[in-house]
Amino acid sequence: MTTQTALITGASRGLGLALARELARRGWTLLIDARGAEALAAARSELAGETRVIALAGDVTDAAHRDGLAAAARELGGLDAVINNASTLGVSPLPALLDYPIAALEAVFRANVIAPLALLQAVRDQLKPGARIINVTSDAGVEAYPGWGGYGASKAALEQLSNVLAAERPDLRVYWVDPGDMRTQMHQEAYPGEDISDRPPPEESAPGLVALLSGALPSGRYQARALPSRPAPDEASGVRETRVALTVADFDRALAFYRDGLGLPTVTDWSSGETGRSVVLAAGRATIELLDEADAAYTDDVEAGERVAGPVRLALEVENVARASERLRAHGAEAPRGPVHTSWGTLTQRLRAPDGMQLSLYQPDPDAKGEEA
Ligand SMILES: NC(=O)c1ccc[n+]([C@@H]2O[C@H](COP(=O)([O-])OP(=O)(O)OC[C@H]3O[C@@H](n4cnc5c(N)ncnc54)[C@H](OP(=O)(O)O)[C@@H]3O)[C@@H](O)[C@H]2O)c1
Protein backbone atom coordinates (compact mmCIF):
# COMPACT_ATOMS: atom_id res chain seq x y z
CA MET A 1 0.00 0.00 0.00
CA THR A 2 1.35 3.44 -0.89
CA THR A 3 1.34 6.04 1.85
CA GLN A 4 -0.59 9.17 1.01
CA THR A 5 0.64 12.62 1.92
CA ALA A 6 -1.38 15.70 2.87
CA LEU A 7 -0.42 19.31 3.49
CA ILE A 8 -2.78 20.83 6.06
CA THR A 9 -2.46 24.49 6.92
CA GLY A 10 -3.46 25.66 10.38
CA ALA A 11 -3.21 22.24 12.01
CA SER A 12 -2.15 23.26 15.52
CA ARG A 13 -5.76 23.34 16.79
CA GLY A 14 -9.40 23.38 15.72
CA LEU A 15 -10.49 21.73 12.50
CA GLY A 16 -6.96 21.44 11.09
CA LEU A 17 -5.78 19.40 14.08
CA ALA A 18 -8.96 17.26 14.12
CA LEU A 19 -8.39 16.41 10.45
CA ALA A 20 -4.68 15.75 11.00
CA ARG A 21 -5.59 13.26 13.75
CA GLU A 22 -8.06 11.46 11.46
CA LEU A 23 -5.51 11.20 8.65
CA ALA A 24 -2.69 10.16 10.99
CA ARG A 25 -4.82 7.27 12.25
CA ARG A 26 -5.18 6.19 8.62
CA GLY A 27 -1.44 6.29 8.04
CA TRP A 28 -1.23 9.46 5.95
CA THR A 29 2.09 11.29 6.02
CA LEU A 30 1.46 14.87 7.11
CA LEU A 31 2.96 18.27 6.42
CA ILE A 32 1.43 20.84 8.77
CA ASP A 33 1.86 24.47 9.69
CA ALA A 34 0.60 27.27 11.95
CA ARG A 35 2.16 30.51 13.14
CA GLY A 36 2.38 29.66 16.84
CA ALA A 37 5.45 27.39 17.08
CA GLU A 38 4.67 26.02 20.53
CA ALA A 39 1.14 24.75 19.78
CA LEU A 40 2.38 23.40 16.45
CA ALA A 41 5.21 21.48 18.13
CA ALA A 42 2.69 19.97 20.58
CA ALA A 43 0.48 18.88 17.68
CA ARG A 44 3.47 17.47 15.83
CA SER A 45 4.67 15.37 18.74
CA GLU A 46 1.17 13.99 19.32
CA LEU A 47 0.72 13.08 15.63
CA ALA A 48 4.25 11.68 15.33
CA GLY A 49 3.11 8.82 17.59
CA GLU A 50 0.94 7.64 14.70
CA THR A 51 2.64 8.67 11.48
CA ARG A 52 5.41 10.65 9.79
CA VAL A 53 4.89 14.39 10.30
CA ILE A 54 6.80 17.46 9.19
CA ALA A 55 5.74 20.65 10.98
CA LEU A 56 6.87 24.07 9.76
CA ALA A 57 5.96 27.08 11.85
CA GLY A 58 5.09 30.10 9.73
CA ASP A 59 2.44 32.37 8.29
CA VAL A 60 0.67 31.31 5.08
CA THR A 61 0.71 34.93 3.94
CA ASP A 62 4.52 34.80 3.89
CA ALA A 63 5.95 33.73 0.50
CA ALA A 64 9.16 32.37 2.05
CA HIS A 65 7.12 30.13 4.37
CA ARG A 66 5.06 28.87 1.43
CA ASP A 67 8.29 28.06 -0.44
CA GLY A 68 9.46 26.16 2.64
CA LEU A 69 6.25 24.10 2.57
CA ALA A 70 6.79 23.37 -1.13
CA ALA A 71 10.36 22.22 -0.45
CA ALA A 72 9.14 19.95 2.35
CA ALA A 73 6.44 18.57 0.05
CA ARG A 74 9.14 17.73 -2.49
CA GLU A 75 11.17 16.00 0.20
CA LEU A 76 8.12 13.88 1.05
CA GLY A 77 7.75 12.76 -2.56
CA GLY A 78 4.77 14.92 -3.51
CA LEU A 79 1.27 15.59 -2.25
CA ASP A 80 -1.95 13.65 -2.60
CA ALA A 81 -3.90 16.43 -0.91
CA VAL A 82 -3.65 20.09 0.07
CA ILE A 83 -6.08 21.38 2.69
CA ASN A 84 -6.19 25.17 2.84
CA ASN A 85 -7.65 25.40 6.33
CA ALA A 86 -5.68 28.24 7.99
CA SER A 87 -7.77 31.36 8.06
CA THR A 88 -8.35 34.55 9.94
CA LEU A 89 -11.63 35.97 11.21
CA GLY A 90 -10.43 39.55 11.05
CA VAL A 91 -11.51 42.26 13.45
CA SER A 92 -13.27 41.10 16.61
CA PRO A 93 -15.95 42.03 17.61
CA LEU A 94 -17.14 41.85 14.00
CA PRO A 95 -17.60 45.37 12.62
CA ALA A 96 -20.29 46.47 10.14
CA LEU A 97 -18.93 46.84 6.62
CA LEU A 98 -19.07 50.64 6.56
CA ASP A 99 -16.96 50.69 9.72
CA TYR A 100 -14.51 47.98 8.62
CA PRO A 101 -10.88 49.23 8.85
CA ILE A 102 -9.61 48.77 5.31
CA ALA A 103 -6.09 47.70 6.30
CA ALA A 104 -7.62 44.92 8.44
CA LEU A 105 -9.88 43.90 5.55
CA GLU A 106 -6.87 43.63 3.28
CA ALA A 107 -5.18 41.37 5.83
CA VAL A 108 -8.29 39.13 5.89
CA PHE A 109 -8.20 38.79 2.11
CA ARG A 110 -4.43 38.14 2.15
CA ALA A 111 -4.87 35.24 4.59
CA ASN A 112 -8.15 33.78 3.34
CA VAL A 113 -7.96 34.26 -0.43
CA ILE A 114 -4.49 35.22 -1.68
CA ALA A 115 -2.52 32.82 0.55
CA PRO A 116 -4.50 29.66 -0.35
CA LEU A 117 -4.03 30.33 -4.06
CA ALA A 118 -0.40 31.35 -3.61
CA LEU A 119 0.22 28.12 -1.69
CA LEU A 120 -1.31 26.07 -4.49
CA GLN A 121 0.91 27.91 -6.96
CA ALA A 122 3.94 27.16 -4.79
CA VAL A 123 3.20 23.42 -4.56
CA ARG A 124 1.77 22.91 -8.05
CA ASP A 125 4.75 20.82 -9.17
CA GLN A 126 4.42 18.66 -6.08
CA LEU A 127 0.81 17.69 -6.73
CA LYS A 128 0.53 14.02 -7.62
CA PRO A 129 -1.79 13.03 -10.47
CA GLY A 130 -5.41 13.29 -9.34
CA ALA A 131 -4.44 15.21 -6.18
CA ARG A 132 -7.24 16.63 -4.07
CA ILE A 133 -7.55 20.20 -2.87
CA ILE A 134 -9.84 21.23 -0.07
CA ASN A 135 -10.39 24.92 0.49
CA VAL A 136 -12.21 25.41 3.78
CA THR A 137 -14.85 28.10 3.35
CA SER A 138 -17.95 28.97 5.36
CA ASP A 139 -21.69 29.54 5.17
CA ALA A 140 -20.73 33.19 5.78
CA GLY A 141 -19.44 33.09 2.19
CA VAL A 142 -22.95 32.57 0.84
CA GLU A 143 -25.31 33.98 3.50
CA ALA A 144 -25.67 37.67 4.48
CA TYR A 145 -25.03 37.73 8.22
CA PRO A 146 -24.64 41.31 9.56
CA GLY A 147 -21.06 41.80 10.80
CA TRP A 148 -19.70 38.92 8.73
CA GLY A 149 -19.16 40.96 5.55
CA GLY A 150 -15.37 41.12 5.62
CA TYR A 151 -14.70 37.49 6.52
CA GLY A 152 -17.73 36.34 4.45
CA ALA A 153 -16.60 38.21 1.34
CA SER A 154 -13.16 36.62 1.63
CA LYS A 155 -14.74 33.14 1.88
CA ALA A 156 -17.01 33.95 -1.09
CA ALA A 157 -13.89 34.86 -3.06
CA LEU A 158 -12.22 31.60 -1.99
CA GLU A 159 -15.33 29.70 -3.13
CA GLN A 160 -15.30 31.25 -6.60
CA LEU A 161 -11.55 30.81 -6.88
CA SER A 162 -12.07 27.11 -6.12
CA ASN A 163 -14.94 26.90 -8.58
CA VAL A 164 -12.84 28.27 -11.42
CA LEU A 165 -9.81 26.17 -10.45
CA ALA A 166 -12.02 23.07 -10.64
CA ALA A 167 -13.05 24.08 -14.17
CA GLU A 168 -9.47 24.81 -15.21
CA ARG A 169 -8.04 21.61 -13.70
CA PRO A 170 -10.45 18.72 -14.28
CA ASP A 171 -7.50 16.38 -13.64
CA LEU A 172 -7.61 17.39 -9.94
CA ARG A 173 -10.43 17.12 -7.43
CA VAL A 174 -11.12 20.57 -6.04
CA TYR A 175 -13.50 20.80 -3.09
CA TRP A 176 -14.68 23.93 -1.33
CA VAL A 177 -16.20 22.95 1.94
CA ASP A 178 -18.31 24.59 4.62
CA PRO A 179 -17.41 22.83 7.88
CA GLY A 180 -20.41 24.27 9.76
CA ASP A 181 -20.25 26.12 13.09
CA MET A 182 -17.57 24.60 15.32
CA ARG A 183 -16.56 25.16 18.92
CA THR A 184 -13.07 26.56 18.19
CA GLN A 185 -10.91 29.56 18.99
CA MET A 186 -11.99 31.30 15.79
CA HIS A 187 -15.65 30.83 16.64
CA GLN A 188 -15.07 32.16 20.15
CA GLU A 189 -13.38 35.23 18.65
CA ALA A 190 -16.53 35.81 16.59
CA TYR A 191 -18.66 35.70 19.75
CA PRO A 192 -16.39 37.23 22.41
CA GLY A 193 -17.54 36.56 25.94
CA GLU A 194 -20.43 34.37 24.78
CA ASP A 195 -21.00 30.74 25.69
CA ILE A 196 -20.41 28.70 22.51
CA SER A 197 -20.52 25.30 24.25
CA ASP A 198 -23.61 24.30 22.25
CA ARG A 199 -21.61 24.33 18.97
CA PRO A 200 -20.37 20.92 17.79
CA PRO A 201 -16.62 20.26 18.14
CA PRO A 202 -14.47 20.20 14.97
CA GLU A 203 -14.18 16.41 15.38
CA GLU A 204 -17.71 16.25 13.96
CA SER A 205 -16.71 18.05 10.76
CA ALA A 206 -13.37 16.32 10.11
CA PRO A 207 -14.87 12.96 8.98
CA GLY A 208 -16.63 14.75 6.10
CA LEU A 209 -13.26 16.03 4.91
CA VAL A 210 -11.84 12.50 5.19
CA ALA A 211 -14.76 11.28 3.06
CA LEU A 212 -13.74 13.78 0.36
CA LEU A 213 -10.09 12.77 0.59
CA SER A 214 -10.78 9.07 0.36
CA GLY A 215 -13.90 8.88 -1.82
CA ALA A 216 -14.48 9.62 -5.48
CA LEU A 217 -16.82 12.61 -5.27
CA PRO A 218 -16.55 15.13 -8.10
CA SER A 219 -15.13 18.62 -7.61
CA GLY A 220 -17.62 21.01 -6.05
CA ARG A 221 -19.01 22.66 -2.93
CA TYR A 222 -19.80 20.45 0.02
CA GLN A 223 -20.99 20.77 3.61
CA ALA A 224 -18.70 18.67 5.76
CA ARG A 225 -21.30 17.46 8.23
CA ALA A 226 -23.72 16.44 5.44
CA LEU A 227 -21.17 14.10 3.89
CA PRO A 228 -21.50 10.43 4.68
CA SER A 229 -18.76 9.57 7.11
CA ARG A 230 -17.49 6.22 8.20
CA PRO A 231 -20.00 4.06 9.98
CA ALA A 232 -19.87 4.04 13.75
CA PRO A 233 -18.12 0.98 15.11
CA ASP A 234 -20.31 -1.92 15.92
CA GLU A 235 -21.20 -1.30 19.56
CA ALA A 236 -20.39 -4.75 20.81
CA SER A 237 -17.16 -5.46 18.92
CA GLY A 238 -15.68 -2.04 18.09
CA VAL A 239 -15.17 -3.21 14.49
CA ARG A 240 -15.96 -0.55 11.89
CA GLU A 241 -15.39 -2.35 8.65
CA THR A 242 -14.53 -5.78 7.36
CA ARG A 243 -12.24 -5.64 4.36
CA VAL A 244 -11.29 -8.70 2.36
CA ALA A 245 -7.83 -8.09 0.87
CA LEU A 246 -7.18 -10.08 -2.29
CA THR A 247 -3.68 -10.34 -3.74
CA VAL A 248 -4.06 -10.63 -7.50
CA ALA A 249 -1.54 -11.45 -10.23
CA ASP A 250 -3.12 -9.22 -12.90
CA PHE A 251 -4.18 -5.99 -11.18
CA ASP A 252 -5.85 -4.32 -14.19
CA ARG A 253 -7.84 -7.40 -15.03
CA ALA A 254 -8.98 -7.82 -11.44
CA LEU A 255 -9.91 -4.13 -11.27
CA ALA A 256 -12.02 -4.42 -14.43
CA PHE A 257 -13.61 -7.59 -13.08
CA TYR A 258 -14.56 -6.40 -9.60
CA ARG A 259 -15.05 -2.66 -10.16
CA ASP A 260 -16.60 -2.67 -13.62
CA GLY A 261 -18.04 -6.19 -13.73
CA LEU A 262 -19.75 -5.94 -10.36
CA GLY A 263 -20.17 -2.13 -10.59
CA LEU A 264 -18.48 -1.59 -7.20
CA PRO A 265 -17.74 2.07 -6.36
CA THR A 266 -14.14 2.98 -5.50
CA VAL A 267 -13.65 3.99 -1.87
CA THR A 268 -9.91 4.59 -1.97
CA ASP A 269 -7.64 4.58 -4.99
CA TRP A 270 -3.97 3.79 -4.49
CA SER A 271 -3.63 2.46 -8.02
CA SER A 272 -0.98 4.98 -9.08
CA GLY A 273 1.35 4.02 -6.25
CA GLU A 274 5.07 3.68 -6.77
CA THR A 275 5.58 0.78 -4.39
CA GLY A 276 2.59 -1.18 -5.66
CA ARG A 277 -1.02 -0.74 -6.62
CA SER A 278 -4.23 -1.24 -4.68
CA VAL A 279 -7.81 -0.04 -4.54
CA VAL A 280 -10.58 -0.45 -2.01
CA LEU A 281 -14.03 -1.06 -3.45
CA ALA A 282 -17.32 -0.70 -1.57
CA ALA A 283 -19.06 -4.05 -1.60
CA GLY A 284 -22.15 -3.73 0.56
CA ARG A 285 -22.40 -4.93 4.13
CA ALA A 286 -19.49 -7.10 5.20
CA THR A 287 -19.90 -10.28 7.24
CA ILE A 288 -17.64 -13.22 8.00
CA GLU A 289 -19.08 -16.68 7.53
CA LEU A 290 -17.29 -19.51 9.28
CA LEU A 291 -17.97 -23.01 8.02
CA ASP A 292 -16.38 -26.34 8.72
CA GLU A 293 -14.85 -28.57 6.04
CA ALA A 294 -18.02 -30.66 5.75
CA ASP A 295 -20.22 -27.61 5.20
CA ALA A 296 -17.74 -26.10 2.72
CA ALA A 297 -17.68 -29.38 0.78
CA TYR A 298 -21.50 -29.56 0.79
CA THR A 299 -21.77 -25.93 -0.42
CA ASP A 300 -19.23 -26.49 -3.19
CA ASP A 301 -21.00 -29.66 -4.22
CA VAL A 302 -24.40 -27.91 -4.50
CA GLU A 303 -23.09 -24.79 -6.23
CA ALA A 304 -20.21 -26.09 -8.34
CA GLY A 305 -20.59 -29.86 -8.44
CA GLU A 306 -17.18 -30.49 -6.85
CA ARG A 307 -14.88 -29.28 -4.06
CA VAL A 308 -13.21 -26.23 -5.59
CA ALA A 309 -13.01 -23.34 -3.15
CA GLY A 310 -9.92 -22.63 -1.09
CA PRO A 311 -10.04 -21.18 2.43
CA VAL A 312 -11.68 -17.98 1.10
CA ARG A 313 -14.72 -17.74 -1.17
CA LEU A 314 -16.57 -14.49 -1.89
CA ALA A 315 -20.33 -14.75 -1.48
CA LEU A 316 -22.07 -11.64 -2.82
CA GLU A 317 -25.77 -10.98 -2.50
CA VAL A 318 -26.89 -9.21 -5.69
CA GLU A 319 -30.17 -7.82 -6.96
CA ASN A 320 -30.33 -10.14 -9.93
CA VAL A 321 -28.11 -13.18 -10.21
CA ALA A 322 -28.59 -13.66 -13.96
CA ARG A 323 -27.67 -10.07 -14.83
CA ALA A 324 -24.70 -9.92 -12.46
CA SER A 325 -23.26 -13.19 -13.70
CA GLU A 326 -23.67 -12.13 -17.32
CA ARG A 327 -21.66 -8.96 -16.61
CA LEU A 328 -18.95 -10.94 -14.83
CA ARG A 329 -18.73 -13.50 -17.60
CA ALA A 330 -18.13 -10.60 -19.99
CA HIS A 331 -15.17 -9.78 -17.73
CA GLY A 332 -13.73 -13.28 -17.87
CA ALA A 333 -15.61 -15.23 -15.19
CA GLU A 334 -16.15 -18.93 -15.82
CA ALA A 335 -19.26 -20.77 -14.62
CA PRO A 336 -19.02 -24.47 -13.84
CA ARG A 337 -22.80 -24.78 -14.22
CA GLY A 338 -25.95 -22.66 -14.36
CA PRO A 339 -27.64 -21.10 -11.33
CA VAL A 340 -28.95 -23.48 -8.68
CA HIS A 341 -31.87 -23.30 -6.26
CA THR A 342 -30.25 -24.14 -2.96
CA SER A 343 -31.83 -25.88 0.00
CA TRP A 344 -31.06 -22.74 2.06
CA GLY A 345 -33.47 -20.61 0.01
CA THR A 346 -31.21 -18.82 -2.46
CA LEU A 347 -30.76 -18.77 -6.19
CA THR A 348 -26.99 -19.02 -6.51
CA GLN A 349 -24.58 -18.81 -9.41
CA ARG A 350 -21.08 -20.06 -8.73
CA LEU A 351 -18.31 -18.41 -10.78
CA ARG A 352 -14.55 -18.64 -11.01
CA ALA A 353 -12.98 -15.18 -11.34
CA PRO A 354 -9.96 -14.69 -13.62
CA ASP A 355 -7.76 -14.46 -10.49
CA GLY A 356 -8.97 -17.94 -9.48
CA MET A 357 -11.27 -16.73 -6.69
CA GLN A 358 -14.51 -18.67 -6.24
CA LEU A 359 -17.56 -16.38 -6.22
CA SER A 360 -21.09 -17.25 -5.11
CA LEU A 361 -23.58 -14.71 -6.47
CA TYR A 362 -26.88 -15.14 -4.70
CA GLN A 363 -30.30 -13.65 -4.23
CA PRO A 364 -33.31 -14.81 -2.23
CA ASP A 365 -34.78 -17.59 -4.35
CA PRO A 366 -37.60 -15.99 -6.36
CA ASP A 367 -39.28 -19.39 -6.85
CA ALA A 368 -39.23 -20.18 -3.15
CA LYS A 369 -40.93 -16.79 -2.55
CA GLY A 370 -43.57 -17.64 -5.18
CA GLU A 371 -44.40 -20.86 -3.36
CA GLU A 372 -44.85 -19.04 -0.07
CA ALA A 373 -47.25 -16.47 -1.55
N1 LIG B 1 -15.19 27.59 13.71
C2 LIG B 1 -16.22 27.78 12.93
O3 LIG B 1 -17.36 27.89 13.39
C4 LIG B 1 -16.05 27.85 11.44
C5 LIG B 1 -17.19 27.96 10.66
C6 LIG B 1 -17.07 28.00 9.27
C7 LIG B 1 -15.79 27.91 8.72
N8 LIG B 1 -14.68 27.82 9.51
C9 LIG B 1 -13.38 27.69 8.86
O10 LIG B 1 -12.76 26.49 9.33
C11 LIG B 1 -11.32 26.62 9.23
C12 LIG B 1 -10.69 26.22 10.55
O13 LIG B 1 -11.10 27.13 11.53
P14 LIG B 1 -11.07 26.81 13.10
O15 LIG B 1 -12.38 27.21 13.61
O16 LIG B 1 -10.55 25.45 13.30
O17 LIG B 1 -10.01 27.91 13.56
P18 LIG B 1 -8.95 27.92 14.76
O19 LIG B 1 -9.33 27.00 15.86
O20 LIG B 1 -8.76 29.36 15.09
O21 LIG B 1 -7.64 27.33 14.07
C22 LIG B 1 -7.02 28.01 13.02
C23 LIG B 1 -5.70 27.35 12.73
O24 LIG B 1 -5.09 28.06 11.65
C25 LIG B 1 -3.82 28.59 12.10
N26 LIG B 1 -3.62 29.85 11.39
C27 LIG B 1 -4.39 30.96 11.46
N28 LIG B 1 -3.88 31.91 10.67
C29 LIG B 1 -2.77 31.39 10.09
C30 LIG B 1 -1.80 31.89 9.18
N31 LIG B 1 -1.90 33.13 8.70
N32 LIG B 1 -0.79 31.08 8.78
C33 LIG B 1 -0.70 29.81 9.25
N34 LIG B 1 -1.59 29.30 10.12
C35 LIG B 1 -2.60 30.08 10.55
C36 LIG B 1 -3.96 28.69 13.60
O37 LIG B 1 -2.71 28.69 14.29
P38 LIG B 1 -1.93 30.09 14.58
O39 LIG B 1 -2.94 31.06 15.06
O40 LIG B 1 -0.90 29.71 15.58
O41 LIG B 1 -1.33 30.48 13.27
C42 LIG B 1 -4.72 27.41 13.89
O43 LIG B 1 -3.86 26.29 13.84
C44 LIG B 1 -11.08 28.06 8.80
O45 LIG B 1 -10.86 28.10 7.42
C46 LIG B 1 -12.37 28.75 9.15
O47 LIG B 1 -12.58 29.89 8.37
C48 LIG B 1 -14.78 27.78 10.86
pLDDT at 171 over 70: yes
CA of residue 204 to ligand 1 center, whole Å: 16
Q: Span 339-353, mean pLDDT? A: 94
Number of H helices, E strands in the chain: 12, 13
Greater model confidence, 148 or 259: 148
Q: Is 112 a pocket residue for ligand 1 (Cβ < 6 Å)?
A: no
SS3 233: coil
Which residue would you say has higher pLDDT here, 229 or 367? 367
Q: What is the distance in A from the centroid of ligand 1 to the CA of 187?
A: 9
| pLDDT higher at 353 or 284 | 353
Q: Is the CB of 223 under 6 A from ligand 1?
A: no
> 194-252: per-residue pLDDT in tens?
999 999 999 999 999 999 999 889 999 999 999 987 554 555 666 667 789 899 999 99
Average pLDDT over residues 101-105: 98
Dihedral, 267, 273, 277, 279 alpha carbons, nearest 10: 0
CA pair distance 260, 116, nearest whole angstrom: 37
- Angle between helices 14-25 and 206-214 in degrees, nearest 10: 50
> Can you give the pLDDT at residue 63?
98
**pLDDT digits 0-9 by tens, 296-305:** 999 999 999 9
Whether residue 1 is predicted with pLDDT greater than 50 in this model: the reply is no
Q: What does the domain layout of the chain look like in residue ranges? A: 5-226, 251-372
Q: What share of the chain is helix, strand, coil (3-state, %, to 5)?
A: 40, 20, 40
Residue 287: pLDDT band by 50, 70, 90 thresholds? confident
Mean pLDDT lowest among 179-188, 264-273, 336-345: 264-273
- Distance from Cα 79 to the centre of ligand 1, integer Å: 21
Q: How far apart are CA 88 and CA 108, in angstroms?
A: 6
Question: What does the pLDDT read at residue 370?
Answer: 44
Phi, psi at 223, each rounded to 5°: -105, 120
* pLDDT above 70 for 184: yes
Q: 175-185: string of b/e by CB count within 10 Å (b at 16+)? A: bbbbbbbbbbe
Average pLDDT, the chain: 92
* Ligand 1 near 242 CB (within 6 A): no
Distance, first Cα to last Cα, the chain: 50
Q: What are phi and psi of 341, to 5 degrees?
A: -90, 115
Q: Which fold has domain 5-226?
A: Rossmann fold (3.40.50)
Which of 85, 133, 151, 159 has most ligand 1 atoms within 8 Å of its beta carbon, as the pocket-test mutant?
Answer: 85
Q: Taking 90 as the threshold, does the pLDDT of residue 264 lie above it?
A: no
Domain 251-372, CATH: 3.10.180.10
**Of 19, 31, 35, which is best to mutate to test ligand 1, by the most ligand atoms within 8 angstroms of its C-beta?**
35
pLDDT value, residue 373: 33
Q: Quote the ligand 1 centre to 14 CA distance (angstroms).
A: 7
Which residue's CA lies nearest to atom 32 of ligand 1? 59
Which residues, 6+ apart, have CB-to-CB distance to 356 below 8 Å?
none
